[in-house]
Amino acid sequence: MTSPERTPDAKGAADLIITRCTALVHDDHEGIGFVEDATVVVRDGLVESVTAGPAGAGAAETIDAHGQVAMPGLVNCHTHTPMVALRGLAEDLPVEEWFNDVVWPVESNLTARDVELGARLACAEMIRGGVTCFADHYFAMDTVAAVVAESGLRANLGQAFFSSQGVEGRERSLDFALRHRGTAGGRVTTSLAPHAPYTVDDADLAATAALAREHGLPVHIHAAENRDQTASSLARRGRTPVEVLADTGLLGTDLLIAHGTGITERDLPVLARAAGRVAVACAPRGYLRFAWPTTTPVRALRELGIPVGLATDGAASNSSLDVWESMALLALTQKSAEGDPRWLTARQALHHATLQSARAVGLGGEIGSLAPGHRADIVLVDLSGPHTQPVHDLAAALVHSARSGDVRTTIVDGRVLMRDRELLTVDVPTVVREMGARMPALVDRSHGRRIQDYDT
């Protein structure tokens, strides 16, 4: 479907034109709409126009996307990319055993090379699944930043820290954030990344909030991940995790909270008073897997105007980095949790997948919409397969019938990273081969070490 017709000398020619697609656009009230037989023009890494009808001029590259939907690339608002190396290693366990018996012992073996290979495999998986941007919260993030640069993806990166590392943990997180923000041609943004209120003490959280304000940095943290954490925080400190975020000043920063299934009624007025731009990342598959009794309270958060972005968490808990699946599961688990089949419609799911996810990673107004002037982060989704036909409702077809494997082409900043399912920036077999050879050393737990204890 791709015909790269290079016309390098054509003055004023666009860099990329996508023709004959159905374009997913937002109206002035953020409603989801579709432009049939549309042309998308990309210039200098930006969307220049989305119009009905054929292209008016030539371009360096033209993609005929007949039968495909052009939509903003998905955003994975909370993940730990290198953990793809642990995919399937700790199945069918409660979260305590998952952390203490497998994940944290194995992570004590991690080397920068493991992180590099994991991040590279994760980028390949996400590009193939229509993800154009991700928020990563992990260790050895210099390495991840280098992989982001080579992969062509966009990312918000944070070097995770625990208070058990002393002040150095926080300082390394700050140092990383300052050195890397704006790198990879502006595709990398950075956050401070305290692990969680149960592993980072109040003084450390307050110091992090002060650094965020001083340096204009967002903060990305796990908080109120589940009801047990909230109950434990109340028992130990007399405050919920969200109240801890408020008391330490973090709700005054641009704060991305991972999970929040433990957010309770009493947290809602606290969140309503937040001075910063607070958002929550929801990774619904893991909440089912760990049999947590609640999911992210999306309806309550919506009433507060708090964006909820889509996420997968790491592949060690989610089994994949399939944000497309997160989109469908968000809709399904929200209907189930609210007992309301009318809630979280397919169009609402697409709003979470686009504008709300963009805001969650601090890139509202830059990504999440095919509006002119936004970054050209675009995916082309094939709806011609038997599992997506006929199409009575484009939103329903995208959210509930299409799969991540229906993404044919992935574009970031106007650059094609996957064309007709062919990855252009990552060599998967080479990564898989070396990763396989390193696995015995990585998964060895005979040493009895772990990087932390899970004890909320």
Nearer to its own copies, 93 or 304 (CB): 93
- Asked if residue 440 binds its own copies (CB under 8 A), the reply is no
- Asked if residue 456 binds its own copies (CB under 8 A), the reply is no
- Stretch near its own copies under the rule CB under 8 A, chosen from 1-9, 179-187, 247-255, 329-337: 329-337
Q: How far is CA 233 from CA 68, 205, 389, 451, in A?
A: 48, 15, 49, 21
- Asked if residue 443 binds its own copies (CB under 8 A), the reply is yes
- Asked if residue 95 binds its own copies (CB under 8 A), the reply is yes
Residues 340-359 binding its own copies (CB under 8 A) are 340-342, 345-346
- Asked if residue 401 binds its own copies (CB under 8 A), the reply is yes
- Asked if residue 392 binds its own copies (CB under 8 A), the reply is yes
Residues 247-306 binding its own copies (CB under 8 A) are 285, 287-293
How is 377-419 classified by DSSP, letter by letter? -EEEEE--SGGG-S-S-HHHIIIII--GGGEEEEEETTEEEEE
Contact between 154 and 357 (Cβ < 8 Å): no
Question: Looking at 55, 319, 371, 451, which residue binds its own copies (CB under 8 A)?
Answer: 319
If DSSP codes are grouped into helix, strand and coil, which group holds residue 237? helix
What the block records as the tokens of 19 is: 């023709």
- Stretch near its own copies under the rule CB under 8 A, chosen from 177-185, 266-274, 358-366, 430-438: 430-438
Question: Looking at 93, 146, 149, 300, which residue binds its own copies (CB under 8 A)?
Answer: 93
The torsion angles phi and psi of 200, rounded to 5 degrees, stand at -125, 125
- Asked if residue 1 binds its own copies (CB under 8 A), the reply is no
Question: Looking at 56, 387, 424, 455, which residue binds its own copies (CB under 8 A)?
Answer: 387
Contact between 353 and 121 (Cβ < 8 Å): no
- Dist. CA 33–CA 243, nearest whole Å: 39
- Helix H or strand E segment including 95: helix 95-97
Nearer to its own copies, 45 or 118 (CB): 118
- Asked if residue 109 binds its own copies (CB under 8 A), the reply is no
What the block records as the tokens of 118 is: 């994991």
| Cα-to-chain-centroid distance, residue 348 | 18
- Cα–Cα–Cα angle for 35, 368, 17, rounded to 5 degrees: 50
- Asked if residue 382 binds its own copies (CB under 8 A), the reply is no
- Helix H or strand E segment including 273: none
CB of 413 to its own copies, least distance (A): 22
Give the residue from 140, 72, 121 showing the smallest Cα distance to 371: 72
- Stretch near its own copies under the rule CB under 8 A, chosen from 120-128, 148-156, 240-248, 364-372: 120-128
What the block records as the tokens of 383 is: 């709806």
Contact between 246 and 263 (Cβ < 8 Å): no
Residues 159-218 binding its own copies (CB under 8 A) are none
Give the residue from 338, 329, 328, 340 showing the smallest Cα distance to 297: 338
- Stretch near its own copies under the rule CB under 8 A, chosen from 13-21, 23-31, 68-76, 81-89: 81-89
- Stretch near its own copies under the rule CB under 8 A, chosen from 42-50, 57-65, 263-271, 390-398: 390-398
- Asked if residue 333 binds its own copies (CB under 8 A), the reply is yes
Question: Looking at 41, 47, 124, 281, which residue binds its own copies (CB under 8 A)?
Answer: 124
- Asked if residue 404 binds its own copies (CB under 8 A), the reply is yes
Which residues are 38's β-sheet partners?
A: 21, 52
Give the residue from 409, 366, 402 showing the smallest Cα distance to 62: 409
Length of the chain: 456
Question: Looking at 37, 171, 247, 338, which residue binds its own copies (CB under 8 A)?
Answer: 338
Positions that interact with its own copies (CB under 8 A): 84-89, 91-95, 121-122, 124-125, 128-129, 285, 287-293, 315, 319-322, 332-333, 335-336, 338-342, 345-346, 384-393, 395-397, 400-401, 403-406, 426, 428-429, 431-432, 435-436, 439, 443
